[in-house]
Amino acid sequence: MAEKTEATAPPAEVTAPAEGDRAIATREETRYMVPPVDIYETADALTVIVDLPGVQKKDVSIEVDQDILTIKGSVRYEPAGDVLRREFGLLDFFRQFQLSDEVNQEKITAKSDGGVLTITLPKAEKARPHQVRIQIG
């Protein structure tokens, strides 16, 4: 998985606070890993796809509070045997996004499959593109 870099300014709808290193320190004791995401937009919704390998569905938490979407995944991973090579460790995952008022927060849904979390954020009615017919007098 590639290192996340903030190459362009984040879009207005969904922004993330500056994260710096891959493992970030929050006010809590534990250190976290920042999971990579794909985000795309359709006419009806925003979709956020998060890689959370090693996280069981019951250990994923998604919360929305004061326009902030928080995704957390806790991991229990022990490498087997005596370690010969260790390319990855698994810390708990943590990532936050700022939601704009385009999103209907009540209708957010999520599903998890094969270590991938898909979150669908439907847009509020007023944010959907509407056809406007203009009569020419």
Partner 1 sequence: MNLGEDKDNLYIDALAPGVDPKTLDISILQKQLTLSGEKRETLSSVESSAVHRSERSAGHFSRVIQLPADVVPDRVRASYQDGLLRLTLPKEEAAKPRQIEVRID
Which residues here bind partner 1, judged by CB under 8 A? 1-2, 4, 10-11, 13-14, 36-42, 46, 49, 51-57, 77, 79-88, 113-116, 118
Q: How far is the CB of 80 from partner 1 (least distance, A)?
A: 4
Nearest CB to partner 1, comparing residues 28 and 87: 87
**Smallest separation (angstroms) from partner 1 to the CB of 26:** 20
Angle at CA of residue 18, ends 13 and 20, nearest 5°: 145
Closest contact distance (angstroms) between CB of 17 and partner 1 is: 14
Rounded to an integer, what distance in angstroms lies between the CA atom of residue 26 and that of residue 22?
Answer: 12
Residue 119: name the closest of 134, 136, 105, 100 by CA: 105
In the complex with partner 1, the residue whose CB is nearer, 75 or 124, is 75
**Dihedrals φ, ψ of 57, to 5°?**
-55, -40
Closer Cβ to partner 1, 28 or 93, answer by number: 93
| The total number of residues written for the chain in this structure | 137
